[in-house]
Amino acid sequence: MSPEYVRPYVKAQKNDDRDAEAIAEAATRPTMRFVALKSEAQLDVQVLHRVRDRLVGQRTSLMNQIRSILLERGIVVAQGRRKLLDALAALSSDDNGAVGPRVRLLLNDMLDQWQALDARITALDDEFAPMARNDPAARRLATIPGIGVLNATALVAAIGDGRTFSRGRDLSAWLGLVPRQATTGGKPKLLGITKRGSKYLRKLIIQGARAALPSLARTATPLGVWLRGLLARAHGNTVVVALASKLARIAWALLRNQAAFATGGRAAA
């Protein structure tokens, strides 16, 4: 059980006896939600994802620091990884003194660190590809537009066969992709998304939805028609999050029904 669901049953001051009593009391509630135990294989995949996410964060931080060093010397680099690499290559062959020799050596050292991080991230990505091919559940999820190897393996590692959730909307809410409610006096008011649950999973699914949105919106499928209607009346970022929530619900349906995604809107076994 999540600790936040047990805390209301703790009476008066906290101690071990009252904690145990609160856990026993919370476990008897008919509406209590429990956390499913994960297998060792699921835990191993989650560890790989956490390590990869840390390496990606270190690479982003390193790139931002390189940009700031260049900006201090009046060198403005456009956004994008390739633009930054081209700027560093131009500096290494430029002798006009825009960057001093010591800073140039430092930038070369930072570039070596960048390349080392790239190699480590690529090595982890190469591990995820055979995992997605050999796992039937991940292979089914990979048939969904916007759900690639990383998303598929991360979802399977986190939720297994999806039986922890009774419906797709529960998975979407668990990922923090549903509106936050502030309802009082019978007057419903919906705010932004809750952003509860795993920040990493939510980030992966939203990035996948953003990448798949342009191509899906051009299709004649029910999903494409729904997206075009949503784009006509809502902001693009709102549509991306709505599509991410839709993809999460589709992923739950495929895991529960052991089916593959069908473009026409129906799942094929």
DSSP 197-248: S-HHHHHHHHHHHHHHHHHHHTSSSHHHHHHHHHHTTS-HHHHHHHHHHHHH
Mean pLDDT of the chain: 91
Structure tokens at 257: 């029904």
CA–CA dist 45, 128 (Å, integer): 9
DSSP state of 193: E
d(CA 248, CA 193): 14
State residue 267's pLDDT score: 41
**Lowest mean pLDDT: which of 61-75, 117-131, 183-197, 205-219?**
183-197
- Rounded to whole angstroms, the Cα distance separating 99 from 74 reads 10
pLDDT at residue number 269: 32
- pLDDT at residue 222 tops 50: yes
Q: Which two tokens stand for residue 230?
A: 């949503």
Evaluate whether 71 touches 87 at the Cβ level (below 8 Å).
no
How many angstroms separate the CA atoms of 48 and 154, rounded? 10
Q: Is the pLDDT of residue 9 over 60?
A: yes
Distance of CA 63 to the CA centre of its chain: 21
**63-72 tens-digit pLDDT:** 999 999 999 9
User: pTM of the entire structure?
Assistant: 0.85
As a 3-state breakdown, the chain gives helix, strand, coil percent values, each rounded to 5, of 65, 5, 30
**Ranges assigned E (strand) in the chain:** 179-181, 190-193
Strand partners, 181: 190
Q: Say what the pLDDT of residue 168 is.
A: 92
Domain boundaries, the chain: 1-35, 40-134, 136-257
What band does 99 get if pLDDT is binned at 50, 70 and 90?
confident
| pLDDT at site 236 | 93
pLDDT at 95: 65
Task: Copy the structure tokens of residue 12.
Answer: 């008066």
In tens, the pLDDT along 156-205 reads 999 998 888 989 999 999 999 999 988 888 888 888 899 988 999 999 99
**Is the distance from CB of 195 to CB of 176 less than 8 angstroms?**
yes
| Element (DSSP H or E) covering residue 4 | helix 3-6
